């Protein structure tokens, strides 16, 4: 994880939020761009924070478990190539440290969605972006927090604003961690979060950041997806089961058990109808 930047102190260098920033936040959900998303997680710092919070609430056993788990997990650095366009189009290519049973890439053209795994491609209906990315690209919910203090700065060669919520602001339920104990930097043009650093005490516990932000190509080639030759193609209704990060064998067993339960339920209903 990169070292933490000097934290923005609104009492020293902050200024009122401008109309330009408010407009950028308002239109952020319509931003079209490509970028590389870096996500760092310091599991040890997060575990220590969880342990302290749990102990304060009298949940000592849970806190100890969280601290032990964080200590064993270490840190992670995930890299995802992101392209987001209009009409529900997006593509995510997981370049580094993607989940063991997760997809290598996800592409959506607004009418269908492809999930590419090592051994198959799953085709299903449209689903929204993962919540962690949605929170970074659609910042309109921050308007509810009445952002009052900002500092203009440069991040990766892009003009941006560091944000602070107004005193006693009501942080929206949609972004429970976005402003709480975090430093937030928003792109002045697109309104997306360029950098979010969440702290556990004085330590960085989590850090997300977009790099290499660029406009989309005129031909939309970022969203193209071709099924590799010889790879098995499956079709799904995109139930919750298909989204779970579990081995294929386990998923098949759960699906089989569910089908059996549904058949048994139908059989019992038919008997009731005959009685």
Mean pLDDT of 263-267: 49
Quote the percentage of the chain above a pLDDT of 90: 27
Cα distances from 208 to residues 2, 42, 156, 170, 247, in angstroms, run 11, 12, 14, 23, 28
C-beta of residue 97 within 8 angstroms of C-beta of residue 89: no
Q: For position 194, what pLDDT does the model report?
A: 94
Rounded CA-CA distance 17/107 in Å is: 36
Mean pLDDT of 85-96: 91
Q: For position 187, what pLDDT does the model report?
A: 95
Helices (H) and strands (E) in the chain, counts: 7, 12
Backbone angles phi, psi at 105, to 5 degrees: -155, 150
Least confident of 42-56, 65-79, 93-107, 216-230: 65-79
Rounded CA-CA distance 140/84 in Å is: 17
Backbone angles phi, psi at 77, to 5 degrees: -135, 110
Give the residue extent of every domain in the chain.
Answer: 10-236, 245-275
Q: For position 22, what pLDDT does the model report?
A: 87
With bands split at pLDDT 50, 70 and 90, how would you rate the model's confidence at 252?
Answer: low
**Tens digits of per-residue pLDDT, 177-221?**
555 667 889 999 999 999 988 888 788 888 999 999 999 998 888
Q: Which residues contact 104 (CB under 8 A, 6 or more apart)?
A: 93, 94, 98, 116, 117, 118
C-beta of residue 181 within 8 angstroms of C-beta of residue 198: yes
- Number of Cβ atoms within 10 Å of the Cβ of 58: 9
* pTM of the complete model: 0.76
10-236 is a CATH 3.40.50.2000 domain:
no
With bands split at pLDDT 50, 70 and 90, how would you rate the model's confidence at 272?
Answer: very low
Predicted confidence (pLDDT) at residue 244 exceeds the cutoff of 60: no
**Tens digits of per-residue pLDDT, 138-177?**
988 777 666 777 888 999 899 999 887 665 556 555 554 5
């Amino acid at each position: 994880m990169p070292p933490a930047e000097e934290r923005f102190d609104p009492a020293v260098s902050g200024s009122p939020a401008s109309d330009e920033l408010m407009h950028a936040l308002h239109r952020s959900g319509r931003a079209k761009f490509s970028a590389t998303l870096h996500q760092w997680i310091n599991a040890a710092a997060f575990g220590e924070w969880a342990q302290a919070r749990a102990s304060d609430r009298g949940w000592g056993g849970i806190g100890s478990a969280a601290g032990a788990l964080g200590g064993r997990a270490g840190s992670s650095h995930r890299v995802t190539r992101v392209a987001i366009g209009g009409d529900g189009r997006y593509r995510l290519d997981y370049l580094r440290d993607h989940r063991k049973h997760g997809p290598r890439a996800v592409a959506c053209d607004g009418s269908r969605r492809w999930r590419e795994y090592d051994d198959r491609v799953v085709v299903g209906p449209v689903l929204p972006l993962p919540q962690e990315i949605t929170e970074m690209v659609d910042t309109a919910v921050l308007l509810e927090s009445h952002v009052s203090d900002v500092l203009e700065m440069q991040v990766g060669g892009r003009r941006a604003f560091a944000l602070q919520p107004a005193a006693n602001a009501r942080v929206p339920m949609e972004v429970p961690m976005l402003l709480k104990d975090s430093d937030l930097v928003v792109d002045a043009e697109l309104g997306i979060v360029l950098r979010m650093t969440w702290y556990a005490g004085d330590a960085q516990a989590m850090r997300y950041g977009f790099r290499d932000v660029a406009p989309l190509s005129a031909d939309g080639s970022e969203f193209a997806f071709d099924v590799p030759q010889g790879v098995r193609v499956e079709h799904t209704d995109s139930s919750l089961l298909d989204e779970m990060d579990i081995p294929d064998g386990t998923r098949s067993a759960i699906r089989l058990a569910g089908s059996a339960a549904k058949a048994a339920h139908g059989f019992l209903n038919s008997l009731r109808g005959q009685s």
